[in-house]
């Protein structure tokens, strides 16, 4: 797979990497917890629309915030991703066997390029807006770690100014223990932490009204 060459540090102009983690929308492989409610095609269509919404939100925010938007993807080819989401962002395949491995690899990739920090988000939190990204950027001026807590016990955003492997090791990904375990790891490492406003990931049927409201307001 041909990948875009990294920008030289002097061309980044102090921007932080904003890394959106997502999956190419294949029926049966995306939003699997919603398949019993929406069916495989419906769940994939929801994932497609929410990802498009989040990409629009973050690329709009990057017009006035020091962020370089990247899409870290799995489940599709570079050509498929570019055809879907366009060429206004940089694409990288996710690297690693677990979510923790993939997050750590992406953070290292960004920070090794000389960026002052990086922020990772998912495509499951359509309520994420420019104000949350601005708050995360401000927090990284004060603390080592910024986290946006999700109401299901995970997080919708994590930002760092240096790689911290302990934050991504031995985490029960996909459970309601992710946030608590990450905060415990941060405390053990002596990291300073700031929490953003809690938001809801759209993962279950009970979460769908939130997405429907956001979609109506955006239309």
CA neighbor of 191 nearest in space, from 121, 142, 153, 157: 142
Looking at domain 15-218, which CATH architecture does it have?
Alpha-Beta Complex (3.90)
Domain range list for the chain: 15-218
pLDDT of residue 125 exceeding 70, the answer is yes
Whether residue 202 contacts residue 211, with contact meaning beta carbons closer than 8 Å, is answered with: yes
DSSP classification of residue 64? T
Confidence of residue 33 (pLDDT cuts 50, 70, 90): very high
CB atoms near residue 128 (< 10 Å): 25
pLDDT computed for residue 123 by the predictor = 96
Provide the pairing of β-strand 118-122 with 16-23. Answer: parallel
CA neighbor of 157 nearest in space, from 189, 131, 188: 131
pLDDT of residue 2 exceeding 60, the answer is no
pLDDT digits (tens, 9 = 90+) for 204-215: 999 999 999 999
pLDDT digits (tens, 9 = 90+) for 63-82: 999 999 999 999 999 999 99
Q: What does the alpha-carbon distance between residue 56 and residue 91 come to, in Å, rounded to a whole number? A: 15
DSSP per residue over 88-128, as a string?
A: SSEEEE--SSSHHHHHHHHHHHHHHTT-S-EEEEESS-TT-
DSSP classification of residue 154? S
Check residues 135 and 217 and name the one with the higher pLDDT: 135
Pair of tokens at residue 159: 């930002």
Lowest mean per-residue pLDDT among 6-20, 87-101, 161-175: 6-20
pLDDT computed for residue 14 by the predictor = 85
Q: What does the alpha-carbon distance between residue 174 and residue 139 come to, in Å, rounded to a whole number? A: 26
């Amino acid at each position: 797979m041909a990948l875009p060459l990294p920008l030289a540090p002097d061309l980044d102009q102090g921007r932080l990497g904003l890394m959106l983690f997502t999956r190419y929308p294949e029926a049966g492989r995306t939003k699997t917890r919603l398949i019993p409610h929406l069916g495989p095609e419906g769940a994939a269509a929801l994932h497609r629309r929410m990802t498009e919404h989040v990409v629009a939100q973050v690329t709009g925010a990057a017009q006035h915030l020091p962020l370089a938007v990247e899409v870290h993807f799995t489940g599709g080819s570079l050509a498929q991703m570019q055809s879907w989401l366009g060429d206004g962002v940089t694409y990288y395949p996710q690297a690693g066997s677990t979510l923790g491995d993939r997050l750590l690899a992406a953070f290292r990739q960004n920070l090794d390029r000389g960026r002052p920090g990086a922020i990772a988000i998912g495509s499951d939190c359509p309520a994420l807006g420019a104000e949350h990204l601005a708050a995360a950027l401000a927090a990284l001026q004060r603390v080592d770690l910024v986290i946006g807590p999700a109401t299901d016990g995970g997080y919708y955003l994590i930002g760092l100014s240096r790689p911290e492997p302990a934050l991504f090791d031995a985490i029960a990904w996909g459970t309601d223990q992710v946030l608590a375990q990450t905060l415990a790891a941060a405390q053990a490492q002596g990291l300073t932490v700031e929490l953003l406003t809690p938001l809801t990931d759209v993962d279950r049927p009970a979460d769908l009204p939130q997405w429907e409201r956001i979609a109506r307001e955006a239309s």
